[in-house]
Amino acid sequence: MFYGIVCTLIAIFSRLFLRVRIIGLENIPKEGGVIVAANHLSFLDIPLLGSSIYRMGRPADFMGKKELYTIPIIGFLLRMLRGFPVDRERVDRAALREAVKRLQSGTIVVIYPEGRRSRDGRLQPGKPGVGVIVRMSGKKVIPVAIQGTDKAMPAGKWVIRSAPITIQFGHPLDFSNRVNGGSERESAEQITKSIMDHIATLIESSTPP
């Protein structure tokens, strides 16, 4: 209930103060575990992406940097909003297993493969963790391109201003033919690169209004 209330408030706020366009939301499956992999520009990405997915009637869990979870109130709220921590400085096997567990239970898990916000707005190389999760879970991936959130709330700023924002969901990617082949590292890197290539294509094809 708390998650739904927050998503509703975010949706109202975005309608009143932001110019958000959502494309391809129908690519989110109505049930079953799926990975949503998006580029990362701003702190706004997490609430706006989560509330967008919730329009399909589905909550989404997300991985967030562990430092945020050490802040008492923020950490509590993130967990209430279905977040779980990940150590970005290493291959966090515990976080990967937690993501797989949630996926196998039928949950949507949001991942930002770049590992951190882009400081210049350009798409950064993805870290292999998302590829490892794909291999471990066997789940499909929905690539997502987010544009404009860095204009609405740039890195290092806490003031939100109106700006055109586009969130575009791509078609599901099926990597089942790569899950069992090759070494884990090589396969994970190839899967990650493919996901990032699809995100890059979405970014090129969608421009804010």
Check residue 191 and report its DSSP letter: H
Q: According to the model, what pLDDT value does residue 207 have?
A: 58
5 burial (CB, 10 Å; 0-12 / 13-18 / 19+) is exposed
Predicted pLDDT at 26: 97
Tell me what pLDDT residue 158 has.
81
Q: Are strands 141-147 and 34-38 parallel, antiparallel or unpaired?
A: parallel
Which residue segments constitute the domains of the chain, with CATH numbers given? 2-205 (3.40.1130.10)
Query: Virtual CA dihedral for 166, 107, 116, 15, nearest 10 degrees?
Result: 30
Distance (Å, whole) CA 98 – CA 12: 31
CB 144 within 8 A of CB 138: no
Query: Model's pTM, two decimal places?
Result: 0.92
Per-residue pLDDT of the chain (209 residues; tens, 9 = 90+): 789 999 999 999 998 888 899 999 999 999 999 999 999 999 999 999 999 999 999 999 999 888 888 888 888 888 888 999 888 777 788 999 999 999 999 999 999 999 899 988 899 999 999 999 999 999 999 999 999 999 999 877 888 999 999 999 999 999 988 766 667 888 999 999 999 999 999 999 865 44
pLDDT for residue 205: 85
